[in-house]
Amino acid sequence: MVLAAFVAACVPALVLADVFSLSNLEWTLKNQNGSIVIPATIPSQAHLDLVKAGIITEPLLGINDFTERWVVNDNWTYTADLTPFTRSLESDGSQKTLLVFYGLDTIANITVAGHPVAWVDNQFQQYVYDVSDLLASPLHRDNNVTVAFESAWYYGMNASSRPDAEYSPTGDFEYAGVRQFIRKTQSDFGWDWGPAFVPSGIFKPAYLVTLSESSSHSISSAPASHPLLASESGGIFIEESSLEISKVGQTPISTPDQNADWLVNVTLAVRSAIAGEHPTVTISIPELHVTSKPLPVPSIAVSTKSPTFVSASFTIPDSIPERWFTHDLGTPKLYNFTVTLALSSGESAQTASFTTRSGFRTIQLVQTPYSQEDIETRGITPGDQWHFVINGNTFYTKGTNIIPFDPFYARMTSGQVRWIIESAVKSGQNMLRVWGGGIYQPSDELTGVYDFYSACDELGILAWSEMIFSDATYPVDSWLLDSIDPEVRQNLRRINKHPSNAQWAGGNEIEGIVITINQTLANGTHYLDEFVELFGDFLHDITFQEESSVAYTDCSTTSGVLSLDPYVIRFDNKTPGFIYGNSERYNYDASQAFNYSTYPVSRFVNEFGFHSMPSFYSWEEVLLSPEDFSFNSTVVSSRDHHPPAGSLAWPNPNAPQGQGQMTMAVEAWLPTPNTTDSNQTFAQWCWSTQLFQSMNMVSEIAWYRRGAGLGENNLGALVWQLNDIWQGVSWSSVEYSGRWKVLNYGMSNIYTPVVIYPFWTPDNQTLEVLVTSDRWEPVSGTAQLTWYDWAGTALESSTHHFTVPSLNNSVIFQGQGLDTILPVGYDATEVWLLLNLTAKVDGETVAHEQYFTPVSLAESNIVEPSVTVTHAEDLTFKVSAQTGVAPWTWLDHPSGTVGYFVDVSTGSPLNGFYLVPGIERTVEFVPNQALSKVSNPDPGDFVIRSIWNNTHL
């Protein structure tokens, strides 16, 4: 900003406007008693600055989540001298200065030039203050901006100990019993997949914006030099902007008319140093050669103390724009929208102009009852629908859930987040659920550190958005609602422009909690009533006041509604034999992992998962001693938070239960890792937990997709979870470093448009093979079923032709009794079945592959496969088995690399496959060079393994 200061000295004050990033100031951080005073930066959080200063080491190392708890117990103050900014201000006071914070974490007092500005208590709000008068009259020569943070933990204990504080009958994680009183990332206080660091700091960008009155000087109509300042020539700051595209007449609960005109609505929150008696808004879409006429909006007074809200809209014929679709259903088409606010008419009009990107789509969450015709002609089980419709087309939702990307938000980058989203897209997903215990995901780097929603728009993946309430009862005290109201409105308005946004849910899993409380506690009705007040009324009404194009649901997992207008939640008001709402499934009894009778029969399953270890490579990032590299070492076990401790007890006293669940799963379904090399044994244990996780989730996904053609008409499956927050035990499919677990390759297989899958019911020895399609048109193709022995000899094969209706399945094989299913003369431990299909989809030939073993691989008589691998400098690897089948052949890329493996013949992700003698596989490692610390890995450092290596070097 040296250039900005130079410009300030040369340009007449009356046309001066600028944006000064507070990141350019020299900041200090100190604790409450002043024993620690260190340089700091923003955006940042106290832990990160303490690491840079050498006071603490990286919080994710070793047991630092325990040893660095002292940071949480202190208060931390950020201070910077404003002289580099104030020396550029005009002495005549003609300029107005706004202090803009896009995120403060969380409880803080703000002072400027010695004057108190505000006390804040909401991490999810943005704050804007006119500090012009304060800068003009500093107290005691104080020229600082200071943000003094209070420990959120201590604040929470104080708030929860008030006589009028409501007791919550729900359990918790580490820092227990306080988070429902604090508008802060709920998982900051601990969760069953991550640490509890309770960070604090100026965690998002902050700015000083100068505005000036208009004058006789020339007025520019060009967009501002800085995107946050909409007025190049001086007087207008757009504090908030909302761009929403819907169909004329559309509401969040109605079926949009696909032939109706598009309605483009813009809302601006304006702070202006210039009055506008007859302002107008103009909206243009250059790619479409469409520009609205100047649209009149209410007058705008001179006001830099608070914003003036104005709205304008115009229509575009349906036929003009191309529609935005998810990547798997069409093209995620985006357009540039230029919005111009003119404060008056004439050549000297003061204008503010900015450009943003959005797309044209309708997205509907259908929750109305199935018709009698559906019940009679389609065999649908009575009840309500619960699925999404894009641009008038019902589709199958395939995806995962996301959690915060890092314990310390401020250090995330768009590149890291984009890789996570790309990993979802590459694995065939079309929706990500933004979990309600984390944070409202950002739209850009300038205001949010990194980009999330814009990347989803571009990559063509929907985002199910949630407000930040999770797994607790929340009091409805007026002071809390007063903080929640602007929080929710600001985030709704910001996210409106994103075509990727699919719906808003009030929170995560709370509806089921209050149903249970209502059934079990004498005063349970009180908590149910409060839930209705907050999630059924308050948040519902705010949502529909701010947007009209996406649905609102009270909770992630819900029993559905009795009525949409008025909004009445169903709760336990259910008719036996009917299906309502959506569901989730967690079963940690590994013996039931593939028991289909334990899977929910549901319209939509929005959470299901099983935990696994990160890879050996991830453990290398954080384990500090050789003895730590063991499945049940103290440090490894300390990073298993399932079930949670429920207190600050460390290491988690409940970890043996979670460790045992993974152990029993591997022992039941895979050869138990045990070799003479302790590191290999540990590595195989880590990988084997991932392999079981993938096998389990693939089985569930296949079952739920099958349900699209059954009475439940299941049209959605979202796995818990996509990303990791640290190197520890979790449900993720992508590790903290960006490394794909086995599950992400498993999803890339089972989320392909047309799949073949063997459904085996051991109780009656029934095998049913189905082909399932999620395409909008019938799909025809050929399936091949081939039995092999473990030496790799093909025993018998059959070919099956199929045609699958839209969003449906076809049975291609049914058999009962091992005597009739298995090749003659072979025992169930001696053989396995390879299932292949080829089909025409969208004019292209696609293939899919699955495997079936009639008994667990722990019982199968696998033989030494003698796997060989040859590699080239372009990171292609040709693998083959010489003497036997290698189940779940897996390639690992070396430490410091990020990327994924693809089948060179198809370009699709491929890893974790059955390698059969005589059938070579060639895969290529495609690196993400921007994230990889090793840019040119040695092909010799890649590792190949299979379950044979669980017990053999």
| pLDDT per residue as tens digits for the range 577-593 | 999 999 999 999 999 99
* pLDDT for res 346: 54
Task: Give the pLDDT band of residue 228 (cuts 50, 70, 90).
Answer: low
Rounded mean pLDDT, 450-457: 98
Rounded mean pLDDT, 791-798: 98
Of 671, 672, 692, nearest to 631 by C-alpha is 672
Two tokens at 93?
A: 């006071």
Place of tokens 């995620």: 332
Write out pLDDT tens, residues 630-676.
Answer: 999 999 999 999 999 999 999 999 999 999 999 999 999 999 999 99
Checking if the pLDDT of 2 tops 60, the result is no
Rounded mean pLDDT, 37-53: 98
Write out pLDDT tens, residues 900-918.
Answer: 999 999 999 999 999 999 9
* pLDDT for res 75: 98
H and E: helices and strands count for the chain: 20, 45
Strand ranges, E, within 343-479: 351-358, 363-366, 387-390, 393-394, 397-402, 431-434, 462-466
Q: Annotated catalytic, 509?
A: yes
> Are the C-beta atoms of residues 452 and 419 closer than 8 Å to each other?
no
> Are the C-beta atoms of residues 923 and 910 closer than 8 Å to each other?
yes
Q: Kindly tell me the sign of the dihedral angle through the C-alpha atoms of 475, 481, 487, 490.
A: positive
Please list the alpha-helical segments (H only) found in 71-177.
Answer: 83-86, 132-136, 152-160
Write out pLDDT tens, residues 133-144.
Answer: 999 999 999 999
Q: Kindly tell me the sign of the dihedral angle through the C-alpha atoms of 850, 855, 856, 857.
A: negative
Average pLDDT across the chain, whole number: 94
What is the pairing mode between strands 108-112 and 144-149? Answer: antiparallel
> Are the C-beta atoms of residues 68 and 180 closer than 8 Å to each other?
no
Task: Say which of 487, 509, 546, 700 is annotated catalytic.
Answer: 509
